[in-house]
Structure 1
Amino acid sequence: MEIKIGVQHTPREIVLESGQSAEEVESAVNAALSGTTQLLSLVDERGRKVLVPADRVAYVEIGQPTQRRVGFGAL
């Protein structure tokens, strides 16, 4: 699923594709914003970890799960 993270004082957003479920991402965001953890930590599809300081998170947009298409059909 595609996740977009807006960071304060930064003109660009962080965009990553993650294999985590929407519930896992939401719980990580809630933990970071509630002060339980100081970093928002997410893992992308390639296993890379993305860390954002919790006090700098402006917004998080969680997209719909993407389905992989197979074949040569019309788009």
Structure 2
Amino acid sequence: MEVRIGINQSARELSFETDATADELSALIQAEPTGLVEIADSKGRKFLVNREAITYVELGSDTSRKVGFVN
């Protein structure tokens, strides 16, 4: 699933692919109002984001994109 996180006072967003579900990510981010949230992407990298600096979270669909010609 593709995830985009907007960060306060930053022109760029944090964008990555993860194997976690939308429900898992939503629960993880909303667990506590302050502190750091740790999110792992599908390549094994970990992101630590300050919850207070998150302006928005966009969770993509769980289905993969089709590549090539579709009839």
Tell me how far apart the structure 1 counterparts of residues 11 and 65 of structure 2 sit (CA, whole Å). 31
Partner of 1:74: 69
Name the TM-score, length of structure 1 as normaliser: 0.82
The share of aligned pairs that are identical, in percent, is 36
**Distance apart, 1:9 and its partner CA:** 0.2
Report the secondary structure of 1:66's partner residue.
Answer: coil
Unmatched runs of 5 consecutive residues or more in structure 2: none
Report the secondary structure of 1:26's partner residue.
Answer: helix
Q: Which has the larger displacement, 61-70 or 43-52?
A: 61-70
**Distance apart, 1:41 and its partner CA:** 1.4
Report the secondary structure of 2:30's partner residue.
Answer: helix
After superposition, residues 55-70 of structure 1 pair within 5 angstroms as 55-67=52-64, 69=66
Moved over 6 A (4+): none
**Distance apart, 1:66 and its partner CA:** 3.2
Partner of 2:44: 47
User: 2:59 is aligned with what amino acid?
Assistant: I
The count of corresponding residues between Structure 1 and Structure 2 is 70
User: 1:40 is aligned with what amino acid?
Assistant: V
Unmatched runs of 5 consecutive residues or more in structure 1: none
Q: Output one character per residue of 1:1-20: Cα deviation in whole Å (capped at 9) or x when no partner.
A: 00000000000000010000
Report the secondary structure of 2:31's partner residue.
Answer: helix
